[in-house]
Amino acid sequence: MKHMGYGQQPYFVYEHADIQRTHFHIVSTRIDRNSGKQIKNSNDRYVIQDFIKQINQQYDLVETQSLGNLHLMSSADSPNLKASIQEVFHLLNNSNITDRQEYQDVLKAFNLQLYQSKQGQSILVIDQDSKIVRHSIKLSAFEEKPQYNFKQGHTINSKQQEELKNQAEQILKELIKQYRFYTKEELRRAFLKYNMVPYQISKNGNYNIYSPRHQTVIDAQFLLKKYSVRLKDFTLTKEQFKGIVKDYTAQLLRQNPNLIDAIVDKEESSIAKDKKRIVLKELNLSKSELYKEFMSHINNQQQEVVDKAIQSHFAYLVAKQLQYENSQRAHQLQHTEISFWQRINHQLVIELLNYRDWEHRKSTRQRKKNTIKRRKGRYL
């Protein structure tokens, strides 16, 4: 309650079991008991997510992932641990893995690691940071052990490989729709949801994908490298990013009705026909309350990444509006330079304050086209 800003508020907790499992609700009031004013809750969702992340880290909580009917992701609390490890050995022994190191890399993605001691080989249960979370089990306890006879490995044809790569790309596209920047854990969760296991290659640090269902390594290194530009050591969702941009824009407009004057350095910028160059002023993002709240949870290096992304986004939107205006300007030479900047400003404000996904705008345009076609059809 303190993390949510309700630390001094009265509240009660009650038990509930309407969905075939016991859970708890916390009820409080949004009217501050001291000031009588309403407690802001516009950003509650992100505050809750941040709190859950902190709790998970503090108590080292691990979510058990299920692949098919088997719980193959080993953890400190895994039931039937020996049986699930045995199944992982069986999968990997019959896969298209090409060498011993690749075998160990994929094994690590299942939270498992081979260990050689004086008493013989054992298997360790680890977390994603390679920290041992459970007592080791000797390999002699398993009927089927890791095999390195790779010539007999499972193979799939090129068409199946291409289908799996296309599926992996769709997963990545969905991931970047949700996140502006995501962590290795978000990447992992996204693929586990579709019964695919991402793993990191020891020799080059790249990522690749293993499919337990097809018992195959998917050759997706290039694909994952392409999308790993979004991979950072902190999470920033698209909603958070858009919220910061929109909030900052609103703050700028309160102080200066002309957004272009607030963000564009007109002395350095050039919009001549043969030379188009837009230079943005240094953005004072601390004017946004959402920005300050988000920055309080990340370090200086991560903050620089966010600042650069927001600056680049403003530059991109200005350039996009400028390109649109120039395409219209060829047919409207009678407009003055002042009205040119006014039109750019008008378009940009609409873009930033009514922030929508490109896919949404695309579908809206398509619906308009379909409506026009239907209307034309009536008169043919």
Half-sphere exposure for 354 (CA within 13 Å, toward CB): 8
Amino acid letter, 363: S
DSSP structure class, residue 262:
H
Query: Cα dist. 339→249, 320, 334, 353 in Å?
Result: 21, 17, 10, 21
From the list 249, 245, 267, 270, the residue with the least C-alpha distance to 258 is: 249
CA distance 199 to 196: 10
From the list 185, 188, 316, 189, the residue with the least C-alpha distance to 241 is: 316
**Token pair in block for residue 37:** 């004013």
Q: What is the pLDDT of residue 114?
A: 93
Cα-Cα end-to-end distance for the chain = 65
> Is 24 within 8 Å of 1 (Cβ atoms)?
no
Radius of gyration of the chain (CA): 27
CA distance 350 to 369: 22
Q: What angle do CA 109, 114, 117 make, to 5 degrees?
A: 155
Cβ atoms within 10 A of the Cβ of 132, count? 13
Where does 201-355 show beta strands of DSSP type E? Answer: 207-211, 216-218, 236-237, 270-272, 275-277
DSSP structure class, residue 142:
-
Q: What is the pLDDT of residue 367?
A: 67
Amino acid letter, 140: S
Per-residue pLDDT of the chain (380 residues; tens, 9 = 90+): 888 888 889 999 988 865 545 778 899 998 988 888 888 877 777 788 788 878 887 887 755 544 554 468 888 888 788 889 999 999 999 888 988 999 999 999 999 999 988 888 999 999 888 899 888 899 999 999 998 877 654 566 788 889 999 999 999 999 999 999 999 999 999 999 888 999 999 988 899 999 998 889 998 999 999 999 899 999 999 989 989 998 998 888 888 878 888 888 878 877 665 566 778 888 899 889 999 999 998 999 999 999 999 999 988 888 887 776 666 654 454 444 546 667 667 667 766 766 554 445 555 666 666 666 665 555 44
CA distance 247 to 209: 38
> Is 63 within 8 Å of 55 (Cβ atoms)?
no
CA distance 183 to 230: 8
- Any idea where the domains of the chain sit in the sequence? 11-58, 158-230, 236-364
> Is 227 within 8 Å of 172 (Cβ atoms)?
yes
